[in-house]
Structure 1
């Protein structure tokens, strides 16, 4: 029972952080004062938090590997341009999830966002 309450608390915190990161990421795209790469790093943070939400008791390093792999797969999928997937990318939600156009710098941003999560989670565990 105590573990269930602890997991519920962790999931609530993760859920709240996911919402904050999504809002911050969307806002980062609305201003020229914040570099576009910031939104990509926040995308990786969001992915990290979402995977942690789903796999609440999994080690942070595994969460980092899984979330970074997903971000990389999504970025590399942008090299594939079939009509059906481009149609998905042409709506707002599809564009937010799948993105448009492969960029090497996005891979770097995902790595930075994931590394930030790993470093912060290490501090929170203490």
Structure 2
């Protein structure tokens, strides 16, 4: 058995498991704001980290053969782009942000701290992905 490489494209990711992880992360993110799953001292940032983790699972569900670093980079780029989009105040985008769905996707206020939370969420996704891919590869060999 050759050693596992996180940077090599893989064939071990299951779309079903990625979709399940997406749904679980979506639910955890939603409930983190409604039920306060995390200590109040962390503020809303666990929800932001979960949002980025949810995007990570969506990316690897759509493209299961992407390497972990590419998946992480794409996820982080999307998260940062959406964060900077908060600085754009066109009427249609402001209107979209005032809908429930638009607020969940785009948010309202730009914050550098959100970008840090996104990085944490992406790192957690990459670590979980590595752990489960590596474990699955070992189980199948």
TM-score, length of structure 1 as denominator length = 0.89
The alignment of Structure 1 onto Structure 2 pairs a total of residues equal to 120
Q: Which is higher, the Rg of structure 1 or of structure 2?
A: 2
Runs of 4+ displaced beyond 4 Å: none
Shift of 1:84: 1.1
Partners of 1:71 and 1:87 lie apart in 2 by 20
TM-score, length of structure 2 as denominator length = 0.80
Aligned partner of 1:93 in structure 2 is: 101
Q: How does 1:6-21 map to 2 (within 5 A)?
A: 10-21=14-25
User: Unpaired runs of 5+ in structure 1?
Assistant: 1-5
Q: Which has the higher contact order (CA 8 A, sep 6+)?
A: 2
Alignment RMSD (CA, Å) = 1.6
2:91 to 67, 72, 83: 83
Aligned partner of 2:79 in structure 1 is: 71
